[in-house]
């Protein structure tokens, strides 16, 4: 049981390049999330998906797109990376029926130069 | 939308002392309040949570209190140990399966 798995773990991008962060969970959770973590800013929600087929904006959605491919997978895309998107990205999931306990992946360290 | 404020941003205590971290939230509809611990380079992990129908919850050396009227909740760690050193985050949510909004984090340092 791997829990929440996200790839890649580390990535360096040039300004303007695009990339997709992949996330998959094997806990049969309905809800999935993408957060970014910056020093002194805590964890800020980028996008979330309360169920397969739905996605909603979080606190900081600008510059990102998401796809809930199926119940297991939730990807985050940066269409044109900017240095301000240098951050640690965490994918997470939760089982709505158990009351919002969120489980995080190991994180993806992204640097945009 | 929901806003969660967390204080202090850093906290240093001597081993064996108690540590208290406080959070306030803005949306009175919030009904779920978890606390996460994050060690350096690791993912956040749930350590304790409380729901709006409960005023206090304890788990060994960790306790959380909730004051719905004042819209604040606190994490209490007693008999602190060096391994308690980490960043702690509070969060609030108001719907089943809904999004969690996090506070800014508190870096706790426990000195031997």
- Closest Cα partner for B107 from A110, A40, A63, A2? A40
Q: Which residue of B has its CA nearest to A60?
A: B101
Check residue B95 and give its pLDDT.
63
The rounded distance, in Å, linking the Cα atoms of A94 and A27 is: 8
* Partner-chain contact B101 A45, CB within 8 Å: yes
Interface test with B, best of A10, A40, A43 (most B CBs within 10 A): A43
* Partner-chain contact B100 A96, CB within 8 Å: no
For residue A98, pLDDT over 60 is answered with no
Chain B residues whose beta carbon lies within 8 Å of the beta carbon of residue A51: 97
A45 in the Ramachandran plot: left (φ > 0), alpha (ψ -120 to 50) or beta?
Answer: beta
Residue B38 C-beta-side C-alpha neighbours within 13 Å: 25
Q: For B36-64, what is each residue's pLDDT tens digit? A: 999 999 999 999 999 888 889 999 999 99
Instruction: Return the structure tokens found at A60.
Output: 């900081």
> Which whole number is the average pLDDT over A48-73?
94
Q: For B65-84, what is each residue's pLDDT tens digit? A: 999 999 999 999 999 999 99
> Which whole number is the average pLDDT over A37-53?
90
With tokens 């909603």, the residue in question is A56
DSSP conformation letters of B7-67: E-SEEEEETTS-EEEEEEES-TT--EEEEEEE-TTS--EEEEEEETT-SEEEETTEEEEEE
Cβ neighbours of residue B58 under 8 Å, at least 6 residues apart? none
Check residue B8 and give its pLDDT.
97
The rounded distance, in Å, linking the Cα atoms of A88 and A92 is: 13
* Partner-chain contact B44 A104, CB within 8 Å: yes
* Partner-chain contact A104 B101, CB within 8 Å: no
Instruction: Return the structure tokens found at A86.
Output: 């240098």
- Give the model's confidence band at A4: pLDDT under 50 very low, under 70 low, under 90 confident, else very high: very high
Q: Is B83 strand, coil or helix?
A: helix
Residue B71 C-beta-side C-alpha neighbours within 13 Å: 14
Other residues' Cβ atoms within 10 Å of the Cβ of residue B24: 18
Check residue B58 and give its pLDDT.
96
**CB pairs < 8 Å spanning A and B:** 65
* Partner-chain contact B43 A104, CB within 8 Å: yes
- Give the model's confidence band at B19: pLDDT under 50 very low, under 70 low, under 90 confident, else very high: very high
């Amino acid at each position: 049981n791997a829990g929440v798995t996200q790839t890649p773990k580390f990535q360096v991008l040039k300004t303007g390049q695009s990339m997709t962060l992949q996330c998959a969970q094997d806990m049969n959770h309905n809800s999935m999330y993408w957060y970014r973590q910056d020093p002194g800013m805590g964890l800020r929600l980028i996008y979330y998906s309360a169920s397969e087929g739905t996605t909603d904006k979080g606190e900081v959605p600008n510059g990102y797109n998401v796809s809930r491919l199926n119940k297991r997978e939730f990807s985050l895309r940066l269409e044109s990376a900017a240095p301000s998107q240098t951050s640690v990205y965490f994918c997470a999931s939760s089982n709505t029926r158990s009351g919002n306990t969120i489980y995080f992946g190991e994180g993806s360290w992204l640097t945009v130069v | 939308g929901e806003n969660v404020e967390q204080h202090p941003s850093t906290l240093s205590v001597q081993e064996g002392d108690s540590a208290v971290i406080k959070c306030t939230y803005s949306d009175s509809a919030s009904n779920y309040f978890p606390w996460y611990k994050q060690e350096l380079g690791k993912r956040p992990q749930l350590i304790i949570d409380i729901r709006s129908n409960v005023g206090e919850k304890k788990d060994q050396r960790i306790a959380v209190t909730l004051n719905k009227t004042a819209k604040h909740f606190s994490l209490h760690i007693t008999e602190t140990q060096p391994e308690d050193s980490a960043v702690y985050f509070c969060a609030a949510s108001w719907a089943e399966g809904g999004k969690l909004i996090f506070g800014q984090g508190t870096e706790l340092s426990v000195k031997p």
